[in-house]
Amino acid sequence: MSTDKPTLVNRDAKVVIRPWTGSNEPVPIVSASGCTVTDEDGRTFLDFTSGYFVNQAGHCHPNIVEAATAQLKAVTQVSGRHTTPPVVDLAERLTEAAPDPISRIFFTTGGSESNENAVKMARQTSGKTDILCIDNAYHGLTGGVLGGCSAPKYRATSGLPDDEVVRRFFRIPAPYCYRCPKQNDCATQCLDGVEATVEARPETAALLAEPVQAVGGIVPPEAWWTRLDGIRKKHRLLLVLDEIQTGLGRTGTMFAAEHYGLEPDILTVGKGISGGVGALAGVMASDAIASEYYGGTTPTSAGNAVSAAAGAALFDTIVSEGLLANCSAMGRYFTEAVEALDDPWVGDVRFKGLLGGVELVSDRESREVLPGELVGQVKETLFGEGMLLTVSGPHKNVLRLQPPLSITSKQLDSFVDALKRTLEITRSTAG
Ligand code: PMP
């Protein structure tokens, strides 16, 4: 009988349900600091997942640790009928930074739940039922928003016939300019049929969209948002912005709505708003919508005081450490450095701040998608080089590279060197 102590991964595999893991996952992370995480065997990785796009100021930032620790000794959890100082602190910061006319927040325990509430709010306010979404969108996997998710593999998780899942949702094309059949710059022809589509659905309550799509880092041109926003206003659709991933500085502004001058009626937040401490998210709305809202989802753990204290500390740290400016500068630096490799497999490098990644192709001229097997090899080789990342995108060929907003050019250089070696090795072994 083996006397070897089981590894954390072996123990995890026996007792934890993980529907979405791939090779080399889960990594048994035992400590983390700044932009790096360390595994059970002492191996250190540069974290391009930021704890799934949560730790904007880096892992275990001293300001956040201090705020959360102090709050642990004061009060942790109260009923949603009551309040605590950090909950109000965080709500004030978020509403102050949010685009007009957003002025209130309902705290939840996660992004999907926030979008559930957003959809409820839109329906309650408008008295209508249907929700217009964008292809390639991800809004969470709970029942009430699953229909808004573009990928069939996600909708299939419901175990229901797809037409039932999508019944109240419909979609229009994504502004995926790199693969735009018109190759335009940007005449927004992809929106030509949208008015007719909306007119055919008079029961539409709202447009639910991410300002910049997180899956594959799809960055809409300004003209696209201007035209779509005009259409939705003309047809009196509420604007529900999902800023769960773009919010808290990820695109170089506190909220990505700023890039496009959007004025959402409802806005959802998650991820970074807990500063990485516990599960906290929220749905924000104008006074008019918030004051009429009833029901919510009565989340037991929402508004946890420790999470809120950590979130407020993260918010303040983003400001005091100039992380928005660093995010924009590093996004540009990263883009230029990867483009400078001039690698035949690098099809598109797109970042808005530090949201985005590198789209891999087997041929730059035809833009043929690099086969999944080779994308997988690239990811694994990068993992061997100490780079922690995921792959995303409509064709699953985008290296998603979203480090903490505190990343340095030196750290990015080490990734770019590793990417250069990785692409060359993978190409040579692929024959
Ligand atoms: N919307 C977007 C844009 C997201 O990125 C996510 C999470 N990846 C969600 C919604 C769902 O959030 P959660 O995983 O916290 O439920």
Of the candidates 66, 76, 31, the residue with the CA atom closest to the CA atom of residue 51 = 31
Q: Are 204 and 130 in contact (CB under 8 A)?
A: yes
* 152 backbone dihedrals φ, ψ, rounded to 5°: -55, -30
> Which of 271, 283, 400, 402 should be mutated for ligand 1, with most atoms under 8 A from CB?
271
> Residue 62 Cα, ligand 1 centroid: separation in angstroms?
26
Residue for token pair 């509403």 = 95
First to last CA, the chain: 44
Give me the amino acid identity at 210.
E
Average of pLDDT values for 258-278? 96
For the cut 80, the answer to whether the pLDDT of residue 426 exceeds it is yes
Q: What is the pLDDT of residues 155-173, one digit of tens each?
A: 999 999 999 999 999 999 9
Exposure string for 262-277, b = 16+ CB within 10 A, e = fewer? bbbbbbbbbbbbbbbb
Return the number of other C-beta atoms located less than 10 Å from residue 102's C-beta: 25
Taken in order of first residue, the domains within the chain and their CATH numbers are 8-57+322-430 (3.90.1150.10), 63-320 (3.40.640.10)
> Residue 302 Cα, ligand 1 centroid: separation in angstroms?
16
400 C-beta closer than 6 A to ligand 1: no
Q: Going by DSSP bridges, is the β-strand pair 36-39/281-286 parallel, antiparallel, or unpaired?
A: unpaired
- Minimum-distance ligand 1 atom for the alpha carbon of 115: 10
Model pTM greater than 0.85?
Answer: yes
* 376 backbone dihedrals φ, ψ, rounded to 5°: -60, -40
Contacts of 212 (CB under 8 A, 6+ apart): 218, 219, 220, 246, 251, 256, 259, 352, 355
pLDDT score for 2: 59
244 C-beta closer than 6 A to ligand 1: yes
For the cut 90, the answer to whether the pLDDT of residue 413 exceeds it is yes
Q: What is the pLDDT of residues 290-335, one digit of tens each?
A: 999 998 888 888 889 999 999 999 999 999 999 999 999 999 999 9
Split at pLDDT 50, 70, 90, the class of 230 is very high
Helix, strand, or coil (residue 406): coil
Give me the amino acid identity at 173.
P
Eight-state DSSP code of residue 409: H
Contacts of 187 (CB under 8 A, 6+ apart): 223
Of the candidates 221, 140, 142, 209, the residue with the CA atom closest to the CA atom of residue 170 = 209
Return the number of other C-beta atoms located less than 10 Å from residue 359's C-beta: 24
> Residue 142 Cα, ligand 1 centroid: separation in angstroms?
10
Contacts of 140 (CB under 8 A, 6+ apart): 110, 111, 112, 113, 114, 115, 116, 146, 149, 244
Average of pLDDT values for 384-389? 98
Nearest-5° Cα angle at 85, 81 to 86: 100
283 C-beta closer than 6 A to ligand 1: no
Q: Are 73 and 420 in contact (CB under 8 A)?
A: no
213 C-beta closer than 6 A to ligand 1: no
For the cut 60, the answer to whether the pLDDT of residue 1 exceeds it is no
347 C-beta closer than 6 A to ligand 1: no
146 C-beta closer than 6 A to ligand 1: no
